Amino acid sequence: MRMIIVAMVAIMSSIALADDVGEAHRRAVSGRDSYWNCLARQYQQQDKRNMSGPDFTSLIASACPSERQNFRVSLLDYLSVQFPDVDAGAHMSTANNAIASAQKDVVTAFIKHKAASK
């Protein structure tokens, strides 16, 4: 009887953990999408089209602070639930790299579009 109870507790715990991971993943994806959409709005604004590449890079680095922080926090939450044994500093590096990659992609698109329009 005790073995059945222990097995049921283990099964319920793994189901709860899977739900936690799934919910953390959903929030991380939602945070990513919000940040990307905000960066896309910055890219699409007409008054930004005449900016130089370095000026646009600076703008993007400081744009969307709340969306950026929400993405960072939700990604850190997901990574710490999905990979609890990994150092928190490694998770922070991963989150910061994801943000830098998003910014780089938007700046690259801006520079390519600007070069194509000349």
The pLDDT tens digits for 58-78 are 999 999 999 999 999 999 999
Cα gap 67→39, rounded to integer Å? 9
Cα–Cα separations (whole angstroms), residue 96 to 6, 10, 47: 41, 35, 28
Give tens-digit pLDDT for 87-118.
999 999 999 999 999 999 999 999 998 888 76
Range of the domain at 50: 2-116
Residue 49: pLDDT over 80: no
Global confidence as pTM: 0.80
Number of domains observed in the structure of the chain = 1
